[in-house]
Amino acid sequence: MDNGRQNKHNVVSMTQHNSDNSFTPLAQVEAYWEALRGGRIMPNRSEIDPRGIEQALEYSFIVERIAPGIARLRIAGSHLSDLMGMEVRGMPLTAFITPASRRQVSDTLEEVFETPATCVMTLHSGKAAGAPPLDARILLMPLKSDLGDVSRLLGALVSVGDMGRSPRRFDVTNTILRPILSENAGPMPTQVKPVSKPAKPPTNMPGFSEPAPTFQTETPLSDAPYLRLVKNDD
């Protein structure tokens, strides 16, 4: 864990506007991510140490991007399993979202990966049999993989209130995206498709081919008649 690189600029927390302590784990995970990244755009996945977010570990998770708009849970705290009533590792993050909001979440995931950006989504689960209304918030922050690509997210999901009967799925009621700024680097480079160059004629490699033969005619082309009778059997 590398806490030596502190961000010297004032960082406006996306979770500090909460008036109560119900969503404190979100602020703890966000502060840990900010401390790790320092002046960089984002920290590496290998830098994440569970001991750094011990107080918020049950709400925390790491997801891996496996396709555009699809992120699968690799590590998940017990609170997430309680919401679903089962082990959630290996599930897509959208398993916590109602079908009506899944496209919105998929689009948001792409923005977090591609911009890159951090995100807080406000969630609500309506009343159902054995399940009272439930409010929640989810925090998403990008990470670099060991290969250097942005394909991991560190996040936290916190619900407030009586959980009731599981599984609980949520509608998205609000989304806040914040593009990431870096002290030591500009925006993340976009992948530029290389321009294809016209193929060059093959060159003869010594030892692998012989020089191309030259052809000569007995009569220079300039002196040759346009039509010439070669043979007449009549």
49 lies in a domain? yes
Mean pLDDT of 103-113: 97
**Strand 134-144 to strand 70-76: parallel, antiparallel, or no bridges (unpaired)?**
unpaired
110 lies in a domain? yes
14 or 115, which is more confident?
115
34 lies in a domain? yes
Model confidence over 39-75: pLDDT tens digits?
899 999 999 999 999 999 999 999 999 999 999 999 9
The pLDDT of residue 218: 52
| Peptide bond just before 116 cis, omega within 30 deg | yes
54 lies in a domain? yes
Check whether 23 has a pLDDT greater than 80.
yes
233 lies in a domain? no
For the domain that residue 152 is a member of, what is the CATH number? Answer: 3.30.450.20
Q: Which of 9-23, 76-90, 185-199, 214-228 has the highest mean pLDDT?
A: 76-90
3-state per-residue secondary structure call for the chain: CCCCCCCCCCCCCCCCCCCCCCCHHHHHHHHHHHHHHCCCCCCEHHHCCHHHHHHHHHHEEEEEEEECCEEEEEEECHHHHHHHCCCCCCCEHHHHECHHHHHHHHHHHHHHHHCCEEEEEEEEECCECCECCEEEEEEEEEEECCCCCEEEEEEEEEEECCCCCCCCCEEEEEEEEEECCCCCCCCCCCCCCCCCCCCCCCCCCCCCCCCCCCCCCCCCCCCCCCCCCCCCCC
Residue with tokens 């049999």: 129
The pLDDT of residue 8: 40
The pLDDT of residue 15: 55
Rg, the chain, Cα only: 31
The pLDDT of residue 160: 94
The pLDDT of residue 216: 53
84 lies in a domain? yes
- CA 11, CA 31: separation in Å to the nearest integer? 10
The pLDDT of residue 61: 98
- CA 40, CA 130: separation in Å to the nearest integer? 46
221 lies in a domain? no
- CA 153, CA 61: separation in Å to the nearest integer? 8
194 or 74, which is more confident?
74
17 lies in a domain? no
Per the structure, the count of domains in the chain is 1
Residues spanned by the domain of 53: 24-179
